[in-house]
Each structure stands twice: as structure tokens, then as C-alpha cells.
Structure 1
């Protein structure tokens, strides 16, 4: 008997079939306006906002970024900021000492290594303090037109429910999904999966009666939402 590894997609409901891309495109058509929900106007601001969104929500980040970017709109401004001032602004997000230190260090690195500009490659982005692969993918996909799948909790959960992967690790989910859905705009797909995961296919239980792809979805591991709970 061959025991499949976490990365093995053989035997998945939608693996290696045109059905997977058809399902993805149907879902994407249902969310034509899905986009990044962080409020930013420059690549620098998106980079910092994405870093701040770790272990919190985009909504909470959007509440503090007007003050943060009003005071420090560029990498040079933030690089020269007093840490206690930045800590006070990001305090509502929690972990303010760590968060403020990371974003100031990133701004300083941008100034010393990249002339204050955000680099346009994953490799260079991931050299910045506190910037991981997920954050780099967000910036590359939203700001620079790269095809980049951002695997957050929603994207991972839905990819498993849709039968695109068995994996739980971020890197393996990304590999499985991008290999299977080679013809799909992965950046747009990320936004769509996040929107669908927040509104319909929730962690608590999917509202399958509201799902635009219920006719195609294999519902892997799904326990339907019963409603009315606390």
C-alpha cells in the first residue's frame, strides 16, 4: 500500500481535472469585485499594513492606518520615527512593541537597501525584517501584477474543502493549488476565496444553501452550518 504524503494530490476529488478550473472560475465570477481589503495607496503602505495584519483582522488594521500613514506616509518618514510614537498608534492591534519595531526596521531597510522603494521580487521582499512569503505574495500580487496565491486561513480551509489539496502547511497548499489551477489568476483567486470564506464558507460551518458553487463543490470534510448558535 502506498501512503499518500501531505503534498500528494492523487485521488483528490478535483485533482488533475478540468473540473477544478471550472469550479474556480465559477466562484470567481460570483465575486467580480473581490479585492484586497486593506486600505492603502502605495506599495509601501500595503507592505506595512500587511505586516500589521498578522494575528488580527484587516478591519482593525484599517482603523489605525489613517493615523499611521498620516504621520508617516513614506519609508523615510517611518524609518526616522520615534518608536514610542509608533507604538501608541498600533497599540489597538496588540503586540505593539513587536509590531512597531518590525515596521520601523523594515522602513529603515527599505531606505538603506532600496532607496526607500519597495522591491519588486519575492526574494528581495523576504529579506526585509518581519516580511514572510505570505506578505511578499500580497505585495507582489496587488501592487506589481504578479500571479501570487496568498494562503491565509480562509484560502487554506477552502482549498481543502474544494478538494484542491490535502495539505495543511501554507507552502504545500500554495504548491498544490497553483499546480492544479495553472490557468487561473492566483491573485484574484486569493481575494475571492477570502471573500467567500468570510461570508459563506466560514470556519464555523459553511452556508451551503448560499454558495454559488454548491453544485460543483465536493464538500470535503464539511459539516453544514446549522444557524442560530451563539
Structure 2
């Protein structure tokens, strides 16, 4: 049975929207430079822990917490079995370390119980949708984290993560139904991409929309006048061409 997000994706994504998504991708790739080099070579389990640390945390702080954790504990088994207070001390640069420490340990215990070991390399043998569903069946793992594990890790599986910048740009461009949250947007935006795209192309799509949100399509004061996709953006056209400075 199709999930609600899958049903929304199939009914929302018309040929016109898919064509717009592809044009946006091509123009932003030209503007910001593609292919974008992958930033990580982590194994998928390490990428999962890194992703859990990154929630609502600046990259530099979550990276510091990850390095502190790796320096103090030689294996993920040691992290799983350590006193929670010691894990919390290591991840203190993150927001909500008191929540993230027990969550990481619970996720590691769940993986151990299911697989008998702490190794997620076998996810590469599953279709992306099945690999994502397996990860998301673990409490505390959502669609952004599952996609990050598959795409950012050395598995290089074509799964699309959507962060807040990506989501904001896609919403203003009209690529998402009004009011849809970040979680359900994953299936909708992934369905707009060609099914035969490589992991590199999917990664480029995520990166250029995120970069565009950081540099041009800002939260409070979007710089619509310099936007390379202004003519494709109903929000930008309303602000610039119709003189209504509204920001959704």
C-alpha cells in the first residue's frame, strides 16, 4: 500500500513541474558549478551517527562532537556500551546533547539487535526505497537522515536528502504543495528527478538547492533580483515584478 507521501508525490508531480525542476537544476548547476565534490568518505554507520549529531546543529559543532566521540571511543560498539553520561560529554558541542547521547546509543543497539553486528554496508544491496525504509524503521531515524546515510557515505546511493534551505527554495519555486513539511517533501522532490540519475546527479541537486538557499534565497531577505531562476519562481516574480515584498 502506498504511503501518504508517495501518493502526494505521484499526484502532485506533473510533467510541467518535473520539467521546471530539471530546468532549476540545470541553471543552478551552471551558477554554482557541478559536479559538486562529495564531502564525506565515511562508512554508512559512521555517517548515520554524524547525521544524528547534525540535527539542529551548526556543521562545525556537530563535526567537533563527532571527532571527540571518535577520539574517545575506538569503536561504535564502545559507544553503544559506554555510560550515557560519557557520550553526552563528547557530544556537548551539539544542541541537546542530553537527547542525542541516549538516542545514538538506542539506534546502535537497535542495529545490533537486527543485524547481529554494527555494519550497514549491506544496505548497498537493497533498492534505495527499501534501504531507506529499513533505516527509517529505526526509532529516531527520519527521511533526511536515511537519505544522508545512503548518499553521503561511501555507499553513494541515489537518495535525495532535503534540508531546511533546500525545502525553502523548492517551496518558493512552487515545486512543493503549499504548507508541506520537510519530511513529506523528500518523496515529492525525489519523484521530480529522473529515475536513472546517478548518485552524483542527485547529490548535485541537493547541494545546489541548498547553496542557493544559503547564498541567494535567504530566509528573511531573499535576493530575488540576482536569482538565476527568478523567471521560474512564482514567489520571486511576485516580489520583484509585481512589487509585493512578501516572503513565505
Same fold, TM-score > 0.5, yes or no: yes
Q: Is 1:198 the counterpart of 2:214 in the alignment?
A: yes
Q: Which moved more, 1:56-65 or 1:169-178?
A: 169-178
Matched residues, number: 216
Q: Does the CA-based 8 Å contact 2:44-2:150 persist in structure 1? A: no
TM-score by length of 1: 0.79
Q: Distance in 2 between matches of 1:63 and 1:210?
A: 35
Task: Report what 1:148 is aligned to.
Answer: 159
The SS at the match of 1:146 is coil
Change (3 A) 1:36 1:200: farther
Q: Distance in 2 between matches of 1:104 and 1:164?
A: 37
Q: Does the CA-based 8 Å contact 1:35-1:192 persist in structure 2? A: no
1:223: Cα distance to partner?
4.6
Task: Report what 1:123 is aligned to.
Answer: 133
Task: Report what 1:68 is aligned to.
Answer: 69
The SS at the match of 1:147 is coil
Q: Is 1:95 the counterpart of 2:106 in the alignment?
A: no
Q: Distance in 2 between matches of 1:16 and 1:58?
A: 32
Q: Is 1:173 the counterpart of 2:185 in the alignment?
A: yes
Q: Is 1:83 the counterpart of 2:79 in the alignment?
A: no
Instruction: Show CA shifts across 1:114-144 (max 9, x none).
Output: 2110251112212334111220111112222
- Unpaired runs of 5+ residues, structure 2, are 1-7, 124-130, 241-248
Instruction: Show CA shifts across 1:166-187 (max 9, x none).
Output: 2422354233322333255333
1:73: Cα distance to partner?
4.7
Q: Distance in 2 between matches of 1:98 and 1:116?
A: 21
**Cα RMSD over matched residues?**
2.9
Q: Distance in 2 between matches of 1:17 and 1:80?
A: 47
Q: Distance in 2 between matches of 1:71 and 1:45?
A: 15
Q: Is 1:136 the counterpart of 2:146 in the alignment?
A: yes
Task: Report what 1:3 is aligned to.
Answer: none
TM-score by length of 2: 0.74
The SS at the match of 1:15 is helix
1:202: Cα distance to partner?
1.2
Aligned pairs for 1:8-47 (under 5 A) are: 9=12, 15-16=16-17, 18-31=19-32, 32=34, 34=36, 41-47=42-48
